[in-house]
Chain A
Amino acid sequence: MIARMLAVAGAEFRIARRNRWALTAAVLMLLFALALTFAGSAPTGSLGVDLLTVSVASMTTLAVYLTPLLALLLSFDAVAGERERGSLALLLSHRLTRGELLAGKLAAHLAVLALAMAAGFGAAGLAAAAAGGAGPESLAALIRLIGSSILLGATFLALGYAVSALAGSTAGSAGMAVGIWLVLVVLYDLGLLGAVVADEGGFFTQALFPWLLALNPADAFRLWNVAASGQVALASGMTGAAGALPGGAPLASLLLWPVAAFALARLAISRTAP
């Protein structure tokens, strides 16, 4: 079972490297992270934190948008593309199970994302540390950022597989992937914001809103990175919601989402005829 999974993972990783996906993702993360680090270096003096802290805060905001997008771009044709080529039936006619196929692809795509995150955030972090100083706390925040980005990426990879299995074609799958990104990363927040404004500090804002934030993987990612470091929270100005939740809630959400999303993808692919 492991051998078949690794065989799929090896081939997928090779494909990602060949079609420059791995490189593109890494360069993209690196450029954005560097740009944010140095463009966002202004508040260090006024907040009394080191440059790496500010950099991590900026990169957290970046990662919320970019990580899900990269993950969905990697995964949206994972099943639909194989089906269109006719190779899905062929792969599954061997002893490979649908679950092994998904797990193999996830391993490869996650490795690509992890490399991109480590390279992008790592390099930007190093640059920030060199230019404006870093401490043990800001270093821990950077490692947390990289780790949680990988978890966030795993969630959206698995969601991408789910739409890829459900959609009839790669075009349909691409459309659904964009829809997922828009809803979970952009519209969800706008909706909550609207509700908070309308509620004017009532029950919704006090009791429900933080939980609804933690329920969304992108917001849980933001919350956890903010809550884990007081300095990052200071630099990002997102302390209110994080403080209203039990400490483990955003992390639990971050850890559970990949599992739930993969289970969803597994269910979706088992319902499709290759």
Chain B
Amino acid sequence: MAVSALSVSAVSKAYGSRPVLREVSLEVDAGERVALLGHNGAGKTTLMKLALGLVAADGGSVSVGGAAAGSAAAREAAAYLPEALAFHPALTGREQLALFARLAGVSRAAVPGLLDRVGLGDAADRRIGAWSKGMRQRLGLAQMLLGRPALALLDEPTSGLDPVSRHELYAIIDEMAGQGTAVLVASHALTELEARTDRIAILREGRMVACDALARLRDEAGLPVRLRVTASGERAADLQARIGGERLNGASVEVLCPPSEKMARLAEIAGLGGLIADLDVAQPSLEDIYRHYSEGASP
């Protein structure tokens, strides 16, 4: 069996007397995109810094591509985009990226191509002090692409970015995953992660409370499906009397039902015939699921 790009096993970490991570385990395989969710202070950044060897674990083990975190091989295999990154304002983008290339042991010939790839070709020779936040973030992304990392760790990569920049950033993340890089993204932007990741890992107060594909988490959480039924004519009261639920406005009724009863309920509603003008089915969103796990409803 191939070695995981990132393997975190039973890791604990405390800053002083404050525990940040408790017995956390996580595997990310090559080409897999995993979202790391959790409230501020849940331990997401600490988990990334452990993987980079920037801080040492109190217990448990972390390895990157089979090498212990912090070792030369592990550092070479991992790329990192810190949260709220800034660079020295006096350097130009090209100079800054050339510095990272030299640190990564990659030829400087790769720099112009990477700058173009993240859309910074035109700005490359301007000082970073005059750049927007989105441009700095792209430069951060460009340095991740140096030397084809086996593992990419991105901490809140889209915070403060405009929608177009976000879209481009995720396109590059997808491209990296397509080339076999294991990607771990910490974010609060739940809606954009929903379609962009293969698995969701949720940290709550330093514990991993969920880690699975979104569909599986949805099933496991057993959150109700939301059926929104619009009555034809003025017959919302009649509709509510038949199917129960809650009146939303003059014309609609909302019914919550467990996923297992969804088809039966739909059949029942469809059987009402002319009473129904429209029907919407809303699956629990990632936000609902996140709230479910992160606020401790279970487990």
Interface residues of A (CB under 8 A from B): 3-4, 6-8, 10-11, 14-15, 18-19, 85-87, 89-96, 273-274
Asked whether B266 is an interface residue with its Cβ less than 8 Å from the other chain, the reply is no
Question: What residues on A are CB-neighbors of B85 within 8 Å?
Answer: 85-87, 90
User: Which of B84, B85, B95, B103 has most A Cβ within 10 Å?
Assistant: B103
Contact B54 A92 (CB under 8 A): yes
Chain-A contact segment, one of B70-78, B118-126, B161-169: B70-78
Contact A89 B75 (CB under 8 A): no
Q: Knowing A15-B90, A94-B75, A95-B75 are in contact, say whether A89-B99 is a contact too (CB < 8 A).
A: no
Asked whether B173 is an interface residue with its Cβ less than 8 Å from the other chain, the reply is no
Contact B91 A90 (CB under 8 A): no
Question: What residues on A are CB-neighbors of B87 within 8 Å?
Answer: 85, 87
Chain B, range 160-187, C-beta contacts under 8 Å to A: none
Distance, CA A14 to CA B100, complexed state (A): 15
Distance, CA A95 to CA B52, complexed state (A): 10
Nearest neighbor of B51 in chain A, beta-carbon distance: A93
Nearest neighbor of B90 in chain A, beta-carbon distance: A18
Contact A11 B95 (CB under 8 A): yes
Asked whether B251 is an interface residue with its Cβ less than 8 Å from the other chain, the reply is no
Distance, CA A94 to CA B84, complexed state (A): 18
CB 8 Å contact bits of B90-109 with A (1 = contact, 0 = none): 11000110011011110000
The 10 residue pairs across chains A and B that have the minimum distance between CB atoms = A7-B102, A93-B80, A85-B86, A94-B103, A18-B90, A86-B82, A86-B85, A11-B99, A93-B52, A15-B90
Contact B54 A8 (CB under 8 A): no
Question: What residues on B are CB-neighbors of A92 within 8 Å?
Answer: 52, 54
Asked whether B294 is an interface residue with its Cβ less than 8 Å from the other chain, the reply is no
Interface residues of A, dominant DSSP: helix
Taking a contact as CB atoms closer than 8 A, the residue among A6, A90, A274 that contacts B140 in the complex is A90
Distance, CA A265 to CA B140, complexed state (A): 28
Asked whether B110 is an interface residue with its Cβ less than 8 Å from the other chain, the reply is no
Nearest neighbor of A93 in chain B, beta-carbon distance: B80
Task: For the A-B complex with A87-B88, A94-B103, A274-B49 known, give 18 more contacts whose Cβ atoms are closer than 8 Å.
Answer: A4-B102, A7-B102, A7-B103, A11-B95, A11-B99, A14-B91, A18-B91, A85-B85, A86-B82, A86-B85, A87-B82, A89-B49, A93-B54, A93-B80, A94-B100, A94-B104, A95-B103, A95-B104
> How many B residues are at the interface, by size bracket?
20 to 34
Q: How many A-B residue pairs lie within 8 Å, measured between CB atoms? A: 77
Taking a contact as CB atoms closer than 8 A, the residue among A7, A85, A86, A273 that contacts B99 in the complex is A7
Q: Knowing A7-B102, A95-B76, A95-B105 are in contact, say whether A86-B49 is a contact too (CB < 8 A).
A: no
Question: What residues on A are CB-neighbors of B83 within 8 Å?
Answer: 86
Listed A/B pairs (10) with beta-carbon separation below 8 Å: A11-B88, A11-B95, A11-B99, A14-B91, A19-B90, A87-B82, A93-B75, A95-B103, A95-B104, A274-B54
Q: Knowing A11-B91, A85-B85 are in contact, say whether A90-B99 is a contact too (CB < 8 A).
A: no
Question: What residues on B are CB-neighbors of A3 within 8 Å?
Answer: 102, 105
Question: What residues on B are CB-neighbors of A86 within 8 Å?
Answer: 82-86
Question: What residues on B are CB-neighbors of A14 within 8 Å?
Answer: 90-91, 95
Distance, CA A8 to CA B104, complexed state (A): 12
Asked whether B14 is an interface residue with its Cβ less than 8 Å from the other chain, the reply is no
Nearest neighbor of A90 in chain B, beta-carbon distance: B82
Nearest neighbor of A85 in chain B, beta-carbon distance: B86
Asked whether B55 is an interface residue with its Cβ less than 8 Å from the other chain, the reply is yes
Distance, CA A6 to CA B88, complexed state (A): 17
Least CB distance from A240 to B in Å reads: 47
Least CB distance from A53 to B in Å reads: 41
Asked whether B158 is an interface residue with its Cβ less than 8 Å from the other chain, the reply is no
Distance, CA A19 to CA B88, complexed state (A): 11
Contact A273 B55 (CB under 8 A): yes
Contact B84 A89 (CB under 8 A): no
Distance, CA A260 to CA B102, complexed state (A): 29
Question: What residues on B are CB-neighbors of A6 within 8 Å?
Answer: 102
Asked whether B63 is an interface residue with its Cβ less than 8 Å from the other chain, the reply is no
Distance, CA A94 to CA B144, complexed state (A): 10
Question: What residues on A are CB-neighbors of B91 within 8 Å?
Answer: 11, 14-15, 18
Question: What residues on B are CB-neighbors of A89 within 8 Å?
Answer: 49, 52, 54, 80, 82
Asked whether B7 is an interface residue with its Cβ less than 8 Å from the other chain, the reply is no
